[in-house]
A and B are shown apart, each in its own frame.
Chain A
């Protein structure tokens, strides 16, 4: 039992270290990708290819003056970034990063904790995440910070609704809240994205909004609100705010990969598994297959992180009313429609076919409706 505990602790420590390490290198890749998209080369001075840049950035942030404004609420001011960082790191606990490790006759899951409310936990913690921003912005005692904080709060509330509705469709398909069950349901290229293209688009859009990334970066819109909620922050407190954004990006990429892209499943998985177990023996083969699955999962995460950055350097920021329009008048009705289509598809015996037919019918109806509206307008 001792060694099982040790391995589990190692896995948890590994997940923790990985989410921090990946977040640190996201800052580097953000800059490199931004540069590449703008025909530049990006940071290349610190170490080979500038790979030590995150270290240099962190060192710089640590050595800057840790400033707290006189009229700020001191403890809340400190609590803000701490809460943001805490909630960002808590979510990775339930994400299944791989299948399982066989050791000493025990099966140890490559996951922080396997709980039957996995996705609910993610949601609960993510919606707590906005408190970090809200508290930080309010405690700064600065109009712009408060603006940013209020924007963050209203934006997160608006988009969490559509996000939750789009997930309900996924949950209807898997019949479980556990992320591991959802992943196992998608075994054999039964990825949810094929069943739920609309749900995927809604979820992706909402996760952009939840992470406060462009085109939804209104809370810190630097050319309107100085720097939004972190205007008064400096040193590592600012670092924690920015860092938590990157951790959130990593986690939401992981959640997208888990919910819609089959988690650690990949095509030809069973073949690899049988080949490895027959060659290397039951235990080693199983563990190696798990490793391959984990690597594939991280590949998917990396792809979605790239998509995040790609979108950031493509799309301009929404105006505030456009943001609200898209959330309330666009995504929530669409998510409801998606839910109805999925429900119908689940009742029929052909979920894939019915999902696509439903989507096609919905789009056709939309077109017919808009054509009708147009002809009415022109006749008047």
Chain B
């Protein structure tokens, strides 16, 4: 049964003299390799050169602040529940009087830890978060660690720096779709 018409029939005619001498075939093959010799190289010299990984690359975690610099996280624990690797743990605390400029909600995370050895960078915490507080950065990797005491990231490493705010090219699905359509197809 023929499923497609893409299949090619095997050519079983005996080789001609020129084909038997291999020489035309070799010349053709060497032409192809020479063409590649002068063609543009696909290599990206990694540590010096990086390539844009797209707006939805899941890298380093970040706890966002709002426009006034208040932490968005309300320590609801949904991210910890959603996390399939059980990498997230937190301690909730109640906001005191005079701390309104620090925390947006009445309850906040006094401690928020991500175990980077456990984290699988699935992004489910980001999806679960009702306060748009936790995100996985698209522009930064979690650096390589060399010992276990560097593995657990606390609030000091996670909370957004107001002087160097994290901006994404697309925050919503619709924006993402637009970005995608603008992307030129890349051949690798």
Contacts and interface: CB of A to CB of B under 8 A. Distances in A.
Same complex for A and B? Answer yes
Interface string A172-203: 00000000000000000000000000000100
B39 A310 contact: no
Given A314-B29, A366-B17, A41 B39 contact: no
B37 A315 contact: no
Interface string A339-376: 00000000000000000000000000011001000100
Interface in A62-90: none
Given A311-B30, A314-B26, A314-B29, A41 B17 contact: no
A310 B45 contact: no
Contact of A41 (B26, B37, B43): B43
A84 to B, nearest CB: 28
Nearest to A371: B17
A74 to B, nearest CB: 43
B42 interface: yes
Task: Say which size band chain A's interface belongs to.
Answer: 10 to 19
Given A310-B30, A314-B26, A315-B29, A40 B43 contact: yes
Contacts of A366: 17
Nearest to B30: A314
Nearest to A322: B22
B7 interface: no
B45 A44 contact: yes
Contact of A314 (B23, B33, B41): B33
A163 B45 CA distance: 45
A49 interface: no
A226 interface: no
A370 B36 contact: no
Question: What is the interface of chain A mostly: helix, strand, loop, or mixed?
Answer: helix
B144 interface: no
A54 to B, nearest CB: 21
A315 B34 CA distance: 13
A310 B16 CA distance: 26
Contacts of A370: 16-17
Q: Which of A201, A314, A370 has the most CB of B within 10 A?
A: A314
Interface in B120-151: none
A37 interface: yes
Contacts of B40: 39
Contact of B33 (A41, A44, A313): A313
Question: What is the interface of chain B mostly: helix, strand, loop, or mixed?
Answer: helix
A379 interface: no
Nearest to A373: B14
A37 B37 contact: yes
A367 B19 CA distance: 12
A366 to B, nearest CB: 6
Interface in B33-76: 33-34, 36-37, 39-43, 45
A323 interface: no
Contacts of B33: 37, 310, 313-314
A103 interface: no
A176 B112 CA distance: 88
Contact of B42 (A40, A44, A367, A374): A40
A39 B36 CA distance: 6
A41 B30 contact: no
Contacts of B29: 314-315
Contacts of A315: 26, 29
Interface in B1-41: 14, 16-17, 23, 26, 29-30, 32-34, 36-37, 39-41
A198 to B, nearest CB: 11
Contacts of B41: 36, 39-41
A263 B132 CA distance: 76
Contacts of B23: 201
A40 B45 CA distance: 10
Nearest to B23: A201
A304 to B, nearest CB: 14
A38 interface: yes
Contacts of B16: 370
Contacts of A332: none
A37 B43 contact: no
Given A366-B17, A367-B17, A38 B30 contact: no
13 contacts: A37-B33, A38-B36, A39-B41, A39-B42, A40-B42, A41-B43, A41-B45, A44-B45, A311-B26, A313-B33, A315-B26, A367-B17, A374-B14
Interface of A: 33, 36-41, 44, 201, 310-311, 313-315, 366-367, 370, 374
Given A310-B33, A310-B34, A310-B37, 20 more contacts: A36-B41, A37-B37, A39-B39, A39-B42, A39-B43, A40-B42, A40-B43, A41-B41, A41-B43, A41-B45, A311-B26, A311-B30, A314-B29, A314-B32, A314-B33, A315-B26, A315-B29, A366-B17, A367-B17, A374-B14
